[in-house]
């Protein structure tokens, strides 16, 4: 049977361990005389009677024991993970603009954080990352194409940027027909740059047209009318 100890204040008997008594190097058994519950009540009463001294004492302890305080915070965070999520969710809903501002400031001050976090997550969740990527490509095909064109434009040093909405607007303006051969391109179309990016063209909406794959490949990076004739003009010249 384990050894017990009687609290000097509430007179209750508890196991003689650190689970029920705080430590005290000056005592013979290495524990204080009263149980943890009684000691906490005593500390609370003293703090209420001496608020300034309590704040100063706590401040000195925190400065002298930063590792212990951080360990206590970590333990509390692990034990109250769901509560922390709910509190953060409620704060975001109540102050959306403030959270957007903080997020923008954090990203500005830590430009590589998201990249490194994404790489580490994909490395540890490879199958899930592939599945997410495949689903994204399936559900947002034009957005993926826009992103690929932006990457290619950066490599070529081209200025300007167009969006998915710009492409859809151009499709409607052309009545879903190829700009060069008037073929219907509802399901299969490409975005062609009037002036090729590697010849000084912009990646902005003013320099894009909708073309079928055949015309886009045939035109390549050549200038229209000067170096390449659209199919309808070419047939008319024969």
| 237, pLDDT greater than 50 | no
Question: Distance between CA atoms of 132 and 118, rounded to whole angstroms?
Answer: 13
> Which pLDDT score, from 0 to 100, does residue 236 have?
44
Q: What pairs with residue 211 in β-bridges?
A: 190
Fold of 140-237: DNA Binding (I), subunit A (1.10.30)
Q: Could you give the C-alpha distances from 174 to 120, 145, 177, in angstroms and in order?
A: 44, 19, 6
- Segments of the chain assigned to CATH 1.10.30: 140-237
For residues 199 and 221, the answer to whether their CB atoms sit within 8 Å is yes
pLDDT at 139: 92
**pLDDT 10s digits, 82-118:** 999 999 999 999 999 999 999 899 988 988 888 888 8
Please, what is the Cα angle at 196 between 190 and 200, to 5 degrees? 145
Q: Is the pTM of this model over 0.85?
A: no
Distance of CA 28 to the CA centre of its chain: 54
């Amino acid at each position: 049977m384990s050894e017990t100890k009687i609290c000097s204040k509430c007179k209750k008997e508890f196991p003689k361990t650190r689970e029920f008594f705080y430590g005290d190097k000056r005592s013979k058994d290495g524990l204080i005389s009263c149980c943890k519950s009684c000691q906490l009540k005593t500390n609370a009463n003293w703090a209420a009677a001496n608020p300034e001294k309590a704040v100063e004492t706590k401040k000195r302890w925190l400065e002298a024991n930063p590792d212990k305080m951080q360990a206590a915070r970590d333990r509390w965070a692990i034990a109250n993970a769901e509560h922390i999520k709910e509190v953060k969710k409620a704060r975001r809903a109540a102050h959306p603009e403030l959270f957007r501002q903080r997020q923008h400031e954090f990203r500005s001050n830590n430009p590589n954080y998201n990249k490194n976090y994404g790489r580490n997550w994909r490395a540890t969740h490879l199958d899930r990352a592939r599945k997410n990527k495949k689903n994204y490509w399936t559900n947002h095909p034009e957005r993926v194409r826009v992103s690929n064109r932006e990457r290619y434009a950066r490599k070529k040093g081209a200025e300007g940027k167009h969006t998915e909405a710009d492409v859809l607007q151009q499709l409607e303006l052309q009545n879903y027909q190829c700009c060069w051969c008037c073929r219907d391109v509802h399901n299969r179309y490409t975005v062609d740059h009037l002036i090729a990016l590697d010849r000084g063209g912009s990646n902005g909406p003013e320099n894009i047209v909708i073309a079928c794959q055949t015309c886009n490949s045939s035109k390549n990076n050549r200038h229209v009318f000067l170096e390449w004739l659209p199919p309808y003009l070419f047939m008319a010249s024969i």
